[in-house]
């Protein structure tokens, strides 16, 4: 089993925090050490200069040599340093000096020139001494600083661990929920949804997953409905064919031309259903994108369907601009518009009219197909684009269809980013309007 993402995030965040604190501690300790040493040296030099000035004043007075040496000894005791005054010519030391009280480390010394009262050139040496207790105090100071840095590092790493654990848990919890939902959806539970909060990437991902699950659920419902509708639509003609064939086989019905024609009609109906299902399957494929001349396409449709209209005694009128374009699949658009024209001719009585109009409306192309046919009842209008839906007026043997054509048409138009609407009145006729994006 792979490590959880929250553990990885916590580990790496603590690691980065630890390294950062370690580097910061080392650099801080070194910087503090340099600053501390510089402070001690600067302070010592300032004290040395004060001692030199005091020695100069002693030699500028009218005191005798013994008194000066005694004062130098007292000054050395007071400043905890050796004060050495040496003549340059005779290389003879004069003045008082103080030995350090026990072994110690010498601090930075100061050397200055001095002119004695008799005009002799001399040198003043101020040699600070380091007592053992001073070294111990300095060591304790450094240890206290290091301990403070260590405690700060431990507390910082602990805080980083707590914050990173809380942050990683809050970060990965929505992901765990998504993973659990995906597993349940993959197992077939398409009603699962994840709770979405916030406006970050995880909430966006959750919304997309919820939308995906909703789409899958809708598609599954459509699949079940399609299966049931197909079974229902096939059941009636198959039962009729089976009944006629069995009756003829048993001798109950004579195999006359009329009875055979009835069987043939049901077979044609089955063939129409299969062709409609093939058209529905094409909707699952994305349409090609090419520039389609709708004027040319509709003119070709009118020419090919004019014979059908003449045979039924229907006047077919074609109006419109010859060169209006849209982007899409020419074959699929031809199927959609052909279904509308064929339906208009099919449901229009002899002597009626079917009109096809093509015109531009701002950034859209409008195709309007109107007829003076049987019309559609108001209660049926919201459902005519559903699969296998047929109105009562269209269920006669002469005009009855499969209930797939308008569903295919609506699917093609919507797949091209267009819309299709209908206005109809029983006994007056229908008008279908298709709007597509103009190219």
The answer to whether 94 and 72 have CB atoms below 8 angstroms apart is no
270 within some domain: no
425 within some domain: yes
What's the pLDDT score for residue 233? 64
How far apart are alpha carbons 383 and 403 in whole angstroms? Answer: 11
257 within some domain: no
The answer to whether 150 and 29 have CB atoms below 8 angstroms apart is no
Angle of helix 257-282 relative to helix 201-250, nearest 10 degrees, comes to 170
238 within some domain: no
Residue 301 tokens, joined: 């449709």
Specify whether 137 is located in the same domain as 9.
yes
What are the CA-CA distances from residue 382 to residues 156, 372, 379 (Å)? 67, 20, 7
Instruction: Write down which residue in 165, 186, 207 finishes a domain.
Output: 186
124 within some domain: yes
266 within some domain: no
206 within some domain: no
Would you write out the chain's pLDDT as a tens digit for each of its 439 residues?
Answer: 445 666 777 777 778 877 887 787 778 777 777 777 777 778 878 888 888 888 887 877 777 778 877 888 888 777 777 788 877 754 444 433 333 333 334 456 778 787 777 777 888 888 877 667 667 777 787 788 778 878 887 887 788 778 777 777 766 777 777 777 778 877 877 777 777 666 766 677 777 878 888 887 777 776 777 677 667 667 767 887 888 788 888 888 788 888 788 888 778 777 776 776 676 666 666 777 899 999 999 999 998 898 889 989 999 999 887 789 999 989 889 888 988 998 899 999 999 999 999 999 889 999 999 999 999 888 888 888 877 666 644 544 444 556 677 888 888 898 889 999 999 999 899 999 999 999 8
For residue 66, the SS3 value is helix
Q: Which residue has the tokens 């929920």?
A: 177
Instruction: Write down which residue in 155, 186, 217 finishes a domain.
Output: 186
For residue 432, the SS3 value is strand
The domain containing residue 109 runs over which residues?
A: 1-186
Tell me the HSE value of 305 on the side-chain side, using a 13 A CA sphere.
Answer: 26
Instruction: Write down which residue in 153, 186, 219 finishes a domain.
Output: 186
Angle at 422 between CA 418 and CA 428, to 5 degrees: 155
Residues paired with 364 in a beta bridge: 361, 437
7 within some domain: yes
How far apart are alpha carbons 413 and 434 in whole angstroms? Answer: 8
Q: 431: domain CATH number?
A: 3.30.565.10
Q: Tell which residue, 254, 5, 37, 247, has the closest CA to residue 138.
A: 37
Total number of domains constituting the chain = 2
Q: Which residue has the tokens 């009262």?
A: 117
Residue 173 tokens, joined: 């919890």
């Amino acid at each position: 089993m792979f490590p959880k993402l929250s553990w990885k995030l916590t580990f790496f965040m603590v690691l980065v925090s630890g390294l950062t604190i370690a580097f910061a501690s080392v650099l801080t300790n070194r910087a503090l050490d340099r600053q501390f040493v510089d402070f001690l040296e600067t302070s010592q030099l300032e004290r040395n200069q004060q001692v030199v000035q005091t020695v100069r004043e002693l030699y500028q007075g009218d005191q005798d040599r013994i008194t000066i040496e005694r004062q130098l000894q007292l000054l050395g005791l007071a400043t905890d340093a050796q004060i050495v005054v040496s003549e340059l010519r005779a290389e003879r030391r004069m003045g008082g000096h103080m030995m350090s009280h026990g072994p110690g480390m010498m601090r930075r010394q100061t050397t200055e020139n001095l002119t004695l009262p008799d005009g002799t050139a001399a040198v003043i040496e101020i040699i600070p001494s380091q007592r053992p207790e001073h070294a111990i105090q300095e060591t304790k100071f450094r240890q206290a600083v290091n301990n403070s840095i260590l405690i700060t590092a431990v507390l910082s790493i602990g805080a980083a661990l707590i914050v990173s654990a809380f942050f990683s848990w809050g970060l990965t919890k929505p992901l765990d929920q998504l993973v659990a939902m995906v597993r349940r959806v993959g197992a077939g539970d398409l009603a699962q949804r994840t709770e979405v909060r916030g406006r970050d990437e995880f909430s966006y991902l959750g919304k997309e997953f919820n939308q995906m699950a909703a789409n899958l659920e809708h598609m599954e419902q459509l699949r079940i409905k399609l299966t049931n509708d197909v079974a229902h639509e096939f059941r009636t003609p198959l039962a009729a064919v089976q009944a006629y064939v069995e009756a003829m086989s048993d001798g109950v019905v004579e195999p006359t031309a009329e009875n055979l024609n009835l069987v043939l009609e049901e077979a044609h109906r089955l063939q129409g259903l299969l062709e409609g299902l093939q058209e529905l399957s094409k909707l699952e494929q994305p349409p090609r994108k090419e520039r389609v001349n709708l004027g040319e396409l509709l003119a070709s449709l009118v020419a090919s369907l004019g014979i059908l209209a003449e045979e039924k005694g229907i006047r077919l009128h074609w109006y419109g601009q010859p060169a209006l374009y849209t982007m899409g699949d020419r074959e699929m658009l031809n199927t959609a518009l052909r279904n509308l024209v064929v339906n208009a001719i099919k449901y229009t009585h002899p002597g009626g009219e079917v009109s096809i109009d093509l015109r531009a409306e701002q950034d859209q192309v409008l195709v309007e197909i109107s007829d003076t046919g049987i019309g559609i009842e108001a209660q049926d209008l919201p459902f005519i684009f559903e699969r296998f839906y047929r109105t009562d007026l269209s269920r006669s043997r002469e005009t009855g269809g499969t209930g797939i054509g308008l569903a295919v048409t609506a699917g093609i138009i919507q797949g091209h980013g267009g819309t299709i609407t209908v206005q109809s009145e029983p006994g007056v006729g229908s008008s279908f309007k298709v709007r597509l994006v103009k190219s």
